[in-house]
Amino acid sequence: MASSKIKYAAIIISSLIAGGLISVTAWQFVNSAQETGKTEHTEKERKVLFWYDPMKPETKFDKPGKSPFMDMDLVPKYADENEDKSGRGIRIDPTQVQNLGLKTQKISRGMLNYSQTIPANVSYNEYQFVIVQARSDGFVEKVYPLTTGDHVKKGTPLIDITIPEWVEAQSEFLLLSGTGGTPTQLKGVLERLRLAGMPEEDIQRLRSTRSIQTRFTIKAPIDGVITAFDLRTGMNISKDKVVAQIQGMDPVWISAAVPESIAYLLKDTSQFEISVPAYPDKTFHVEKWNILPSADQTTRTLQVRLQVTNKDELLKPGMNAYLKLNTQSQEMLLIPSQAVIDTGKEQRVITVDEEGRFVPKQIHVLHESQQQSGIGSGLNEGDTVVVSGLFLIDSEANITGALERMRHPEKSDDTMPAMLGQPENMHSGH
């Protein structure tokens, strides 16, 4: 009896388990069929225009699969994803915008601050360059102990010479003075001595002492450095022979090659700072500066020359120096440089209109400095530009035809959907 009850209970339990399994299986089958039906229904409702790789959105494919460029599946582009074809922009889901971390900034007017350090070099001041000559034939009686590279002060003796022509003219002057020569005749003789090169102090000594001088001293006419000096005692000297060449040392010139691209920044208000590695703690005063009239065709640079005070003669010709230019541009529209998409063929930005659409716009960048770009055309003051998260928006603009509408605004809106449906660079396979 007990055995029969146990068998009966086992049969009932087995039946319940079997029934439950059948019910679960049936429910899963029905639910799966419903989901499949919904998916198929959804897919049938949404028309796929093409598939694309988000990393290379300009290339489109006519069927799904793996991207030949990246290890990722191609993404479908549906016809209903951007139904507002009449507008020039695109819409992106606000959640996606937040996830992308998009940042925007309003355009304002201002001046580009420019600061650049340019290599430069120190050279002699060519305005303080003299060539000393006797200007008459004669003989070198004495050469003072000097050589190339020596510093001399104005009035330092260089050589003693004898010039027969000067002796003869002095005799004529004294003869006329003693025999009643007219003032015009006397003045003519003295002027001939000046033209022949006789030093002015010797001429005045002749007038005051009334005695003939046979030996004359040629002296340095300026302070500076001797750059040429090769006479020797006893040499004959001709009237065109160079006695010495002397270069002044205060002030000196500092020259730098400035790129043509920043020539517009060089103006009267531009400020220059000079630093010299040999004297890092010293500052040097710029007296004046100018831009030379010609450009270097090889390096595409302009030569800027500064005249710098050098009273202590610390700056030596040939030294390296650095020229720091601090200046500002004229007022213009400014945007962050990271907001600019420069393909080499065009420059564009992504703007945000009043309705929240992202609109690509072509621009022309005039100048760039310190992560700021000056805009010449394409934008207005107060416009809003996207400064981060540009890549995905630009890709979407390319896919939806917004870039094409930007480039060809004269095309009718009706042509845009057709262009999306049959892109020129459609690939039939991978």
Domain at 338, CATH number: 2.40.420.20
- pLDDT on residue 36: 47
- Asked, for residue 13, whether it belongs to a domain, the answer is no
Domain match, 313 and 282 both: yes
Domain match, 101 and 185 both: no
CA distance 397 to 406: 10
- pLDDT on residue 45: 64
- Asked, for residue 83, whether it belongs to a domain, the answer is no
- Residue 79 in contact with residue 303, Cβ under 8 Å? no
Domain match, 238 and 294 both: no
Q: Which is it for the CA torsion 21, 23, 24, 26, positive or negative?
A: positive
- Asked, for residue 125, whether it belongs to a domain, the answer is no
Domain match, 401 and 353 both: yes
Domain match, 307 and 355 both: no
- Asked, for residue 202, whether it belongs to a domain, the answer is yes
- Residue 265 in contact with residue 369, Cβ under 8 Å? no
Domain match, 241 and 138 both: yes
pTM of the predicted model as reported, rounded to 2 decimal places: 0.58
- DSSP letter for 122, please: E
- pLDDT on residue 26: 45
- pLDDT on residue 24: 44
What does the pLDDT profile of the chain (430 residues) look like in tens digits?
445 555 555 555 555 555 554 444 444 544 544 544 444 444 456 677 777 776 666 678 887 888 887 777 887 777 665 555 445 667 766 776 677 677 888 888 988 888 888 899 999 998 989 999 888 888 999 999 999 999 999 999 999 998 888 888 888 888 888 887 788 888 888 888 888 888 888 888 888 888 888 888 999 999 999 999 988 998 888 888 899 999 999 999 999 998 887 777 787 777 888 989 989 888 888 888 888 888 888 888 889 999 999 888 899 999 999 988 888 788 888 888 888 888 888 888 888 888 778 888 888 888 887 788 888 888 888 888 888 876 667 666 665 555 555 555 555 444 444 444 444 455 555 5
- Residue 247 in contact with residue 164, Cβ under 8 Å? no
User: What's 258's domain CATH number?
Assistant: 2.40.30.170
- Asked, for residue 23, whether it belongs to a domain, the answer is no
Domain match, 320 and 341 both: no
Across the strands, what pairs with 105? 385
- pLDDT on residue 373: 86
- pLDDT on residue 35: 46
Listed in order, strand segments (DSSP E) in 213-281 are 216-219, 224-228, 236-237, 242-247, 252-259, 271-275
- Asked, for residue 389, whether it belongs to a domain, the answer is yes
Domain match, 347 and 370 both: yes
Structure tokens at 383: 């416009």
- Asked, for residue 169, whether it belongs to a domain, the answer is yes
| Domain count along the chain | 4
- Asked, for residue 124, whether it belongs to a domain, the answer is no
- Residue 164 in contact with residue 215, Cβ under 8 Å? no
User: What's 193's domain CATH number?
Assistant: 2.40.50.100
Neighbours of 13 (CB within 10 A): 9
Domain match, 138 and 239 both: yes
End of a domain among 212, 245, 278?
A: 245
Domain match, 306 and 341 both: no
Interacting residues of 229 by C-beta distance below 8 A, sequence separation 6+: 146, 147, 148, 158, 243, 244, 245
Domain match, 226 and 258 both: no
Crossing angle for the helix pair 164-178 and 200-209, to the nearest 10 degrees: 30
CA distance 242 to 133: 5
Exposure on the CB side of residue 219, measured as CA atoms within 13 A: 15
Domain that holds residue 55: 48-78
Q: Which amino acid is at 248?
A: G
> In Å, how far are 24, 131, 304, 390 from 221, measured between CA atoms?
117, 9, 29, 69
Exposure on the CB side of residue 71, measured as CA atoms within 13 A: 0
Domain match, 277 and 310 both: yes
